[in-house]
Amino acid sequence: MNNHALLTDLYEFSMANGYLATLPDDRWAVFDVFFRTVPDDGSFVIAAGLAQVVDQLKDLHFTAADLAYLQSLGLYQPDFLDYLAHFHFTGTVSAMPEGTPVFAREPLLTVCAPLIQCQLIETWLLNILNHQSLIATKARRIVAAAAGRPVMEFGARRAQGPDAATYGARAAVIGGCASTSNVLAGQLFQLPVAGTMAHAWVQSFNDELTAFRSWAKVYPDSASLLVDTYDVLKSGIPNAITVFKELQAAGHQPVGIRIDSGDIAQLATAARQLLDQAGFPNAKITASNSLDEGVISSLLEQGAPLDNFGVGDKLITSGSAPVLSGVYKMAALTENGRWQPKIKLSNSRSKITLPGKKQTYRLFHPHSKTAFADVITLADEELTAPLTVTNVDPLSTFSQLTLTDFVAQPLQVPVVSKDAQPVETDVLAIQERTQKQLAQLPAATKRLVNPDAYPVYLSPKLAALQQELMKEHQQ
Amino acid sequence: MNNHALLTDLYEFSMANGYLATLPDDRWAVFDVFFRTVPDDGSFVIAAGLAQVVDQLKDLHFTAADLAYLQSLGLYQPDFLDYLAHFHFTGTVSAMPEGTPVFAREPLLTVCAPLIQCQLIETWLLNILNHQSLIATKARRIVAAAAGRPVMEFGARRAQGPDAATYGARAAVIGGCASTSNVLAGQLFQLPVAGTMAHAWVQSFNDELTAFRSWAKVYPDSASLLVDTYDVLKSGIPNAITVFKELQAAGHQPVGIRIDSGDIAQLATAARQLLDQAGFPNAKITASNSLDEGVISSLLEQGAPLDNFGVGDKLITSGSAPVLSGVYKMAALTENGRWQPKIKLSNSRSKITLPGKKQTYRLFHPHSKTAFADVITLADEELTAPLTVTNVDPLSTFSQLTLTDFVAQPLQVPVVSKDAQPVETDVLAIQERTQKQLAQLPAATKRLVNPDAYPVYLSPKLAALQQELMKEHQQ
């Protein structure tokens, strides 16, 4: 990861320069990252990108070339450029670990730092979290649709730039993918890499059988053959079977075939029969043409005998919903050294922000392994029963609830501070965490189509503080 | 741009290793980059990304760490790893310059190189061209909708990773955007940068008027004020007018206001009236909430008095169509030192590839400044009238046409070879080229909704060669 100090909207620099000129008391602020809607009408997002955020924050600095460029814009004062020359992050960050399912309005990451620093890190921080969480969320959906069959991430060539391919592959594995085709992502993040051959291999030989035989000679123990260059059933499968028999006779175990075009369900069914009849019931069938969670669900519903899925552009761009609209909003600010909670009003009730420094808890009934709700509280608030909480969604019918008996699991942990917990960087360990966290959610919340809304509540103190600040501003 | 040698699908390495083991004669191949469909049902794509492709190709190499990683996969032979250790690109590349409008099936870039090299550069080459061309194409649409009003690219925080933000900003300017908010893109590509303040600025002061006054003090000659933190018409505009009067009294020219929420048309109309009445008819109104070409067209149709647009996630992700499905297909291969044209068949007639090394021409009637068709030919074919051409679309009603009098402008130029033309790297010069090239297309082809299909033909020799190879494979 490069130093992305300049991957910042111009207005962040302009505001920072303005703060330095007009608010010399070095105010501190608290900013929350959260989102209001979930892509694909899902009910939650899988948090991802934290390892990169923390890594980058530690190294964030402005080079001489950066400063020269900023100076060339003619907008900023010398003392601001001098401030940037000595910039390093001195605040704290707490966040939900990667792999956590996060619901709308919940602060997935919170920064507490001098106001200028808060402002200067906004753009790249949102960029990383929005991107990786988007792809992890999409991967979770696609992996759920595959119902236990391995999903391989194949999208590098259609990703939105090199980073999108590489960090996207990382996020896809966090969301549950078994492997990626992207070798750079494999190298950087120790991800399993996968892939077989392209049509060009078959075209490079005089005929398909020679192409398959040549492949089997080089990869006798990992031969997976692409059977749709000419005609799947008339040539691809028969040629593959010929080569599989030769491999078997030589003591090798053929891996399987891949179908990348045509009607996958029909071709896979016919291919399965031919492979079974030829004595290869263990040869796997991989499908890989324009797949997403909808197509995979539909193919499996139809009974298509598929063993693996290679998913390309619809995963790596989250094609049906390519944006996670995470925002970064001020929740508190010091004034003469004292913290003041802050709110951003809006004509739309649901867009009004949650003031103050906060924590989010996942609630379980005692002895239950399935969570029943989340509650957002002020950071220093103790949760003791009975607790009357207010639904974060102002349109909710059952807007209040009194909780009498519950176990509360805090979701944010300190990641940059003196008491920071080490951030997990092993992507397969994060993937395992995702699975464990998902197992704690109600099945209805995880449904891909029309999921049940999972309730998120505000604690009594947080709800009261929000009300109070709204009234103050309406006067 | 980093060295992206490992930003490559695993199967490219596996095929390259296989070629080396089974085709020791070092065959050469020709591969074309083209696409079959245009995002957003448009009629053409704006080519972008070539400067990065050429730049990277020159530097492409595998480091010791790369080789160690590949070796650790346990798939490849020592002589292949040795080949990679000495890898550098020795082939040639021709391409349409950035900013060229490209139609479906036209080779926008062609590689001629040893087969192994062709294979090893596929993934990152497609990644770069697909991404940047996608965003340039979307930008062209949004800029066309804005009908002469400047469009600023504001999407960094919602882009799909750091590169998507930065190279996306470059592509957006190629497509016609006036500026970007992304300072890194500004620095790397000398793009104009723009931006004012966020809501956090207003929240950081005790009241909105103080916030605006403080801003005006720091930026007296570039004060553009965000007026929707609390209430646009009740507080934002009146406070802005107070500050504009103070600026005017001090001899400064206020720039304008920005509206980022609510009903933009209604608010802008009311804001315009208030600003005019207060004596600021030159104060600009900028809109910036969830805009794309559809919303902008609709706002302008309604008569909203808007002067500038700030466009975020729907531009930087091409939100309504986030994938350009560019492919990279073999068109020719040497056999015993002689070139053989190659074809990839498909059940779908329109997916059958165009064999041989090719060139594409844009055709004009003599003395006309507007092109009437493109024709794809074999590279060494001379275009002389009369010329009977065949529509590339097999479903076209008027499948053949005889051209008697035309001027033909070649679209591909050599960019990596002994006779290579220097690739333009000045993004504003590329933007100008885009505008000139667009001016040559019929208005009906540029329409945003339901554009007229622009005809693309095959030359007689290319059409005959395709027929011949189809028959050969069907035997």
Query: Which pLDDT band, with edges at 50, 70 and 90, does A475 fall under?
Result: low
Record: contact B218-A70, CB cut-off 8 A: no
In chain B, whose CA is at the least distance from the CA of A1? B162
* Measured CA angle at B289 (ends B286, B290), to 5 deg: 135
Identify the H or E element spanning A201: helix A199-203
Rounded Cα gap, residues B206 and A342, in angstroms: 11
Give SS3 for B377.
strand
Record: contact A13-B183, CB cut-off 8 A: yes
Determine the average pLDDT of the residues in B215-231: 94
Contacts of B260 in chain A (CB under 8 A): none
In chain B, whose CA is at the least distance from the CA of A126? B157
* Measured CA angle at A267 (ends A262, A268), to 5 deg: 125
**pLDDT of amino acid A396:** 80
Measure A398 CA to nearest chain B CA, in Å: 28
Query: Which pLDDT band, with edges at 50, 70 and 90, does B475 fall under?
Result: low
Dump pLDDT digits (tens) for A59-78: 999 999 999 999 999 999 99
**pLDDT of amino acid B101:** 98
Give SS3 for A133.
helix
Dihedral (CA of B300, B304, B306, B311) sign:
negative
Record: contact B183-A70, CB cut-off 8 A: yes
The percentage of chain B sitting over the pLDDT mark of 90, rounded to a whole number, equals 89
Rounded Cα gap, residues A296 and A435, in angstroms: 20
Measure A433 CA to nearest chain B CA, in Å: 23
**pLDDT over 80 (residue A172):** yes
**pLDDT over 60 (residue A1):** no
Measure B325 CA to nearest chain A CA, in Å: 7
Record: contact A184-B7, CB cut-off 8 A: yes
**pLDDT over 50 (residue A384):** yes
Residues in a beta bridge with A285: A257
**pLDDT over 70 (residue B244):** yes
Record: contact A187-B69, CB cut-off 8 A: yes
Rounded Cα gap, residues A35 and B411, in angstroms: 45
Record: contact A8-B182, CB cut-off 8 A: yes
Delineate the domains of chain B, giving CATH numbers in brackets: 10-135+322-474 (3.20.140.10), 198-282 (3.20.20.70)
Contacts of B26 (CB under 8 A, 6+ apart): B114, B115, B116
* Residue from B10, B210, B224 whose CB has the most chain A CBs within 10 Å, to mutate: B10
Determine the average pLDDT of the residues in B150-166: 98
Contacts of A122 in chain B (CB under 8 A): 157
**pLDDT of amino acid A474:** 72
Residue of A312, A315, A310 whose CA lies nearest to A285: A310
Amino acid at A349: R
Q: Are B101 and B438 in contact (CB under 8 A)?
A: yes
Contacts of B203 in chain A (CB under 8 A): 330, 333, 342, 344
Record: contact A317-B325, CB cut-off 8 A: no
Query: Which pLDDT band, with edges at 50, 70 and 90, does A23 fall under?
Result: confident
Q: Are A186 and B74 in contact (CB under 8 A)?
A: no
Helical segments of A278-324, H only: 293-301, 313-316
**pLDDT of amino acid A229:** 87
Record: contact B193-A127, CB cut-off 8 A: no
Q: What is the 3-state secondary structure (H, E, C) of B170-224?
A: HHHHHCCCCEECEHHHHHHHCCCECCCCCHHHHHCCCCHHHHHHHHHHHCCCCCE
**pLDDT over 70 (residue A176):** yes
* Residue from A13, A71, A157 whose CB has the most chain B CBs within 10 Å, to mutate: A157
> Count of residues for chain A?
475
Structure tokens at A1: 């990861």
Dump pLDDT digits (tens) for B394-404: 878 778 999 99
Record: contact A163-B168, CB cut-off 8 A: no
**pLDDT over 80 (residue A12):** yes
Dump pLDDT digits (tens) for B201-211: 998 998 999 99
In chain A, whose CA is at the least distance from the CA of B65? A187
* Residue from B119, B180, B204 whose CB has the most chain A CBs within 10 Å, to mutate: B204
Measure B326 CA to nearest chain A CA, in Å: 8
Q: What are the backbone dihedrals phi and psi of residue B157, each rounded to the nearest 5 degrees, phi first?
A: -70, -15
* Residue from A183, A205, A259, A342 whose CB has the most chain B CBs within 10 Å, to mutate: A183
In chain B, whose CA is at the least distance from the CA of A197? B11
Determine the average pLDDT of the residues in A429-443: 98
Measure Cα distances from A58 to A2, A7, A26, A93, A415 in Å.
12, 16, 21, 11, 11
**pLDDT over 60 (residue B19):** yes
Query: What is the signed CA dihedral for A136, A142, A147, A151, rounded to 10 degrees?
Result: -80
**pLDDT over 60 (residue B1):** no
Determine the average pLDDT of the residues in B311-316: 98
**pLDDT over 60 (residue B36):** yes
